[in-house]
Amino acid sequence: MGLHEEIARRRTFAIISHPDAGKTTLTEKFLLFGGAIQTAGAVKSNKIKKSATSDFMDIERQRGISVATSVMSFEYQDHIINLLDTPGHKDFAEDTYRTLTAVDSVILVVDCVKGVEEQTEKLMKVCRMRNTPVIVFINKMDRDGKDPFDLLDEIEEKLSIKVHPLSWPIGMGSLFKGVYNIHKKYLNLFRASTQRVEEEVLSIKDLTDAELDKQIGEYDANNLRENVELIEGVYHDLEKSKYLSGEIAPVFFGSAINNFGIKELLESFLEISPIPKGRPTDKGFIEPDAKDFSGFIFKIHANLDPKHRDRIAFLRVCSGKFERNKFFYQVRTDKNARFSSPFSFLASSKNIIDEAYPGDVVGLYDTGNFKIGDTITEGKKYNFQGIPSFSPELFRELINTDPMKTKQLEKGIEQLTDEGVAQLFTHQLGNKKVVGVVGDLQFEVIQYRLLHEYKASAQFQPVPFHKACWITSDNKEKMNEFCRVKYQYIYTDKDKNTVFLAESAWILKVAKENFPEIIFHTTSEFKTQNNDA
Ligand code: G4P
């Protein structure tokens, strides 16, 4: 098979949702369809407890299992599907944001009872930054939820994306009878089942067909006719190009736990979702069918065994062909390296692979050479973009409680931040280190791992910061003045970019007013993105 064919049969995506909407259940059903797992429950054990009381055992278990389940690849109808897992726990949201840089599209799960929730809004913001195509799956139709039209309005309003229902539910909760696929004109009748079953579909090309009344009763049949007429009047045909550019989200309804609407979703997904796309670099756009191999590291995962500090780096292949034992070029370090045991995540087990193609994710054993965002090529010098750090939401000062272990602490915190567990900001005078995270739990993880993996003992002290803003300016004088006036709040990130740690939204606002020449960015990648704070 040639490079083009290999690319065309791949799909790389993530399922995102607010915790509890049904992401794990849907993932599991997809894997059942793909034959990657045989029994329900296999993915479930991956879940970290959602309560704030998650203990270290949970964290450890999560870390162990999530290496295997971070990427789940399976084959379905001649396609190779790479499903990238995103942690459900909100404290690991930054990990999710970064994983989204490695996918070509997403499926967003919305709970029909709860509608659009906070975490969904945040995740969708990240998708919109990159115009990632989105398919919406409205889940739990076996429960009494919100009116479907209201749900669509809510999605459009809260997520700033246009929707386009491709199927429509008939009733809900105990009266849920199934969905009508408006696009393909068939009726999919609901039958509660947690086992893999063929969906019972019935072609109904014309909704005036009396068969419809026979199947779902006159009342529901008439309701459906009215609703579909309304929908067709408003939405017309799906403009695929607008889905691919992230402007319109096709919507499906179903019930993941009952295995209902999953096959329809998966097959429609394969039909319309994008094949692996190219990526922008600082030297221009790289197309997936470019002859030379290229890829980037989007995730680094520590191994479970604390005695061995080796890690696993996740490489997303962007162009050309990745080959085992071939020398590739790591741009940041300016070094060539070859990988003797790269592995794939097919059927949720680790298999050594000889080659990989655009869209694939390759696991590489790492002894500390990689950083998140690293570009690997066949020798050319360019860097992929779009793997920014986002402003953390919580900040604490790192206090060394064992001066004898200063070196260990420095090494530990550097490696953990390389992994993306947290962000490290160092005061310009170099003596104060502030760690920024998205969720509280990460502070516990860091403290625990510093002690167990690096034998360094540290504590976190509260600091009153509200937001980290990467600052730039064309006016060098003003920049110097700002850094002088605000010197207490000026830090550098790991890449020595200047960062302003604002104590409150109000202070940030005043700073912006007083220094209009300075641009305040909420992500580290300010060169390519319009993400001013
Ligand atoms: P998440 O990964 O997005 O956090 O959600 P998850 O799949 O774990 O689902 C959250 C809860 O919702 C689970 O119940 C799951 O069984 C349930 N669920 C998923 N899909 C459906 C559906 O279509 N209908 C209904 N009624 N429930 C659904 P739980 O009680 O938290 O877990 P469990 O005891 O079932 O494992």
pLDDT digits (tens, 9 = 90+) for 209-232: 888 899 899 999 999 999 999 998
For residue range 414-431, what is the model confidence (pLDDT) as tens digits?
A: 888 887 778 999 997 777
Instruction: Region of 173 please: left (phi>0), alpha (psi -120 to 50) or beta.
Output: left
Give yes or no for residue 119 CB within 6 A of ligand 1. Answer: no
What are the backbone angles phi and psi of residue 244, rounded to the nearest 5°? -65, -25
Residue nearest atom 36 of ligand 1, based on CA coordinates: 44
- Give the confidence band of 530 by pLDDT, cuts at 50, 70, 90: very low
158-183 pLDDT tens trace: 999 999 999 999 999 999 999 999 98
CA of 25 from ligand 1 middle (Å) equals 6
Residue 105 predicted with pLDDT over 80: yes
Q: Is 20 in the pocket of ligand 1 (CB under 6 A)?
A: yes
Position 346 pLDDT exceeds 80: no
Taking only the tens place, the pLDDT of each residue in 441-452 is 788 888 988 998
Q: Is 136 buried (19+), middle (13-18) or exposed (0-12) by CB count in 10 A?
A: buried
pTM of the model: 0.83
For ligand 1, whether the C-beta of 19 sits within 6 Å is yes
Mutation test residue for ligand 1: of 110, 140, 257, 258, the one with most atoms within 8 Å of CB: 257
Helix (H, G, I), strand (E, B) or coil at 224: helix
Q: Where are the alpha helices (DSSP H) in 251-405?
A: 262-272
Give per-residue pLDDT as tens, 17-51: 888 899 888 988 888 887 766 655 555 555 544 44
CA–centroid distance, 238 to ligand 1, in Å, is 30
Determine the distance separating the centroid of ligand 1 and the alpha carbon of 144, expressed in angstroms. 15
76 touches 34 (CB < 8 A) = yes
Domains contained in the chain, CATH given: 3-272 (3.40.50.300), 279-377 (3.40.50.300), 394-528 (3.30.70.3280)
* Residue 311 contacts residue 449 (beta carbons within 8 Å): no
| Nearest-CA residue for atom 6 of ligand 1 | 22
Task: Judge whether residue 310 has pLDDT over 90.
Answer: no
Q: Tell which atom from ligand 1 comes closest to the C-alpha of 27.
A: 7
Closest-lying ligand 1 atom to the alpha carbon of residue 25: 7
- pLDDT for res 533: 47
**Mean pLDDT within 363-375:** 88
